[in-house]
Structure 1
Amino acid sequence: MSLPFPQSIIPMVIETTGRVERAYDIFSLLLKERIVFLGTPINDQVASLIVAQLLYLSQQDPERDISLYINCPGGVIYSGLAIYDTMQAIPNPIRTFAIGVTASFGTVLLAAGTPGERYSLPHATIHMHPAGGGTQGYIPDIEIQYKEMKRLQDTLHHIVSKHTGQSVQQIADDFERDHWMDAQMAKDYGLVDEIMGESVFSLTKKSEEDG
């Protein structure tokens, strides 16, 4: 498979079967265990790799779980929607995990996991913000680009609403500006179902106690 990082820094694992040795890059070895790792911004190339892995694993076994680990700052909305639609289209349960920073469309994919199978590691940071992008050119062209960006933002609000149980208006209000959450806050909001590992100390609760 094509790799998201320079080959020189990808760990290789040697598997020996009898007299045969096979070298796997770490991502291919994870794929054998039905683990997909999204650790870069999302663009067309990254989306194609993730979609291909999901389709391959579903074709191999349409009933077994697929685990998607997300450490992603977001990226191109169109590309992210390709991953999202594939997640919804295949029959497999998909377990999603927030690690590091899960932001923007990475958070959409986190929330889109199978209900009850969406997890955050204790110190993951989850982030959402309004859709955005630079516009330039003549006024009619800017208006066209604005309408398209507004359409995409409305689409994302409906998607996040569907997977969190929050109202579309609540989503729009909460994510009008950058919105940062720790694992507990993300769980309370409905973006994840469980926090893995040690208990996380919510800054929100700390502020309430200090008050």
Structure 2
Amino acid sequence: MTIGSKMPKNSRKTGKNMPVKAYNMAILDDDSAEINMYGDVLMEAPRDYWTGERINGMYIAADEFLEDLEQIKDKSNITVYINSGGGDLYAGLAIYNRLKELNGHITTVNDGLAASAASLIFQAGDTRKMNKASNIMAHGVAGFLFGYYNLNDLNNMVKQFEAGNEAVVNVYAERMGVTYEEAQDFINGETWKTGQAAVDIGLADEVIETEEEDAEGLLDSLINKVSSVYGRQNSAVPAGVPQVANIKKDGGKKVKTTDELREAYPELVAQIEQEAADKGKMEGRKAERERIKGIEDIAGGVLDKALLNDAKFGEQPMSAAELSLSVMRQQASIGADMLNALEKDAKNSGADNVKSNPKNAEDDDPDKEDEEEKENEIKDLVNIVNGTKKGAF
């Protein structure tokens, strides 16, 4: 059962302003619950100025969070996973105080970042766990000023900042096991700590070790993989696969490697491997059907039936895309052969040895030839006359 879960991707199509929350609460069993907090911390959800509707976004609204918390507050074990850059101081303090007053055991886990107000929420855990690759950041109260202020306004603001810092220091001092003065020095500026460094100064209780897993971690991982084959939740395990809790209850020994797991529980490992192998076969058959169907869809455009048959059932079967590429290459090769044959025929025809005649077409005009002949006769007569005149002198 989940509480405050995120809106499904297609829910926007309904036209309703369904809330998207940056946290998720899940009831695991009768005694346990889990909270995932990923987003900025605000006192209340922001709303559209004109319509008054809630604006969706990645923020943890304290008013909504505390209302949803009522549904799991009686659980004996609550694990809170945090990845947040912080936000509103008093929203963070409200969530911190409410978590701290619950009767069950609270475990807070820093998944990536617990900064500012989120670092306060992290301190609410009876057990506070840091990952080796997670950061915690603490600092004093800060605010944004915009507008005009008189001296009294500024003095009042200073008092508010001092009160806020006092609340923050009280939280850190209590959880770190140090004096108020020591914790006060801690929030001067910003203090960043990673993994073991946060444990060393009392901001966390332990670092999560991931290098080795015990039997529960290994079995959980394997069972989850098999469960995912069937599209089930982690709590639903295929028939015949025993729950981890049952194995441990029956006196199962701890193992730290998959080989030791195989030796300790050979039947379980064999069943899990068989389930995975059967799933692989099913996926393989599905992929093969899809491949053949893709080829059938383009078969009408493939003239070379031998190529088509090889694509389906040959020693190197093809996908529809690979077959299409082969057909294109084949057509390109045929076109190149045709061009080469045409070029060869042209050379063999002797057309290259035919010389062009530079004489102008107008030189063959018979009328022009007659005119030129007449002009030559006139020139001859003129020369005769001129010659006679020259002889008279």
TM-score (norm 1): 0.76
Of 126, 129, 147, 2:136 maps to: 126
Q: CA deviation at 1:55?
A: 2.1
Tell me, what secondary structure is at the counterpart of 1:51?
Answer: helix
Query: Does residue 182 of the first structure (1) align with residue 194 of the second (2)?
Result: yes
Contact 1:36 1:50 in 2 (8 A): no
- Rounded to whole Å, the distance in 1 between the matches of 2:78 and 2:100 is 12
Q: String of CA shifts for 1:27-49, please: whole Å, max 9, x gaps.
A: 65x51221111111110232123
Give the letter for the 1:149 counterpart.
F
Partner of 2:125: 113
For 2:193 and 2:81, the matched residues in 1 are separated by 18
Cα 1:142–1:166 shift into 2, 3 Å: same
Percent sequence identity over aligned pairs:
21
Aligned-partner residue type, residue 37 of structure 1: N
Alignment of 1:182-201 (within 5 A): 182-198=194-210
Give me the whole-angstrom Cα distance separating, in 2, the residues matched to 1:49 and 1:165.
32
AA at the equivalent of 1:180? W
Aligned partner of 2:115 among 103, 106, 113: 103
Match of 1:8 in 2: 9
Structure 1 or 2: more helix by fraction: 2
Indicate the residue corresponding to 1:205 in structure 2.
none
CA contact (8 A) 1:161 1:171 kept: yes
Q: Is the aligned partner of 1:50 residue 2:71?
A: no
Change (3 A) 1:104 1:94: same
Do the aligned residues in 2 keep the contact of 1:129 with 1:175 (CA within 8 Å)? yes
Q: Is the CA contact 2:140–2:168 (under 8 Å) kept in the aligned structure 1?
A: no
Between Structure 1 and Structure 2, whose CA radius of gyration is higher? 2
Distance in 2 (CA, whole Å) between partners of 1:134 and 1:144 is: 15
The whole-number CA distance in structure 2 between the counterparts of 1:85 and 1:2 is 20
**2: CA distance, partners of 1:169 / 1:127:** 19
* Equivalent runs, 1:57-96 vs 2, <5 Å: 57-59=72-74, 61=75, 64-96=76-108
Alignment TM-score, normalising by the size of structure 2 = 0.42
For the 8 Å contact 1:94–1:113, the answer to whether it is kept is yes
- In the TM superposition, residue 159 of structure 1 has moved relative to its aligned partner by 1.2
Distance 2:100 2:171 in 1: 11
Equivalent position amino acid for 2:140 in 1? P
Match of residue 31 from structure 1: 26
Report the 3-state secondary structure (helix = DSSP H, G, I; strand = E; otherwise coil) of the residue aligned with 1:58: coil
State the 1:81 CA deviation.
Answer: 1.5
Within 2, Cα distance between the matches of 1:108 and 1:172? 15
Deviation track 1:147-169 (CA, whole Å, cap 9, x = no partner) reads 01110111110111111102211
Does the C-alpha gap of structure 1 residues 54 and 134 become closer, same or farther in structure 2, counting only changes over 3 Å? same
CA distances 1:128-163 after superposition (whole Å, capped 9, x unpaired): 111110235222111101101110111110111111
Q: For the Cα contact (< 8 Å) 1:132–1:149, is it kept in 2?
A: yes
Distance 1:55 1:133, change over 3 A: same
Higher strand share: 1
Preserved contact between residue 37 and residue 82 of structure 2 (Cα < 8 Å)? yes
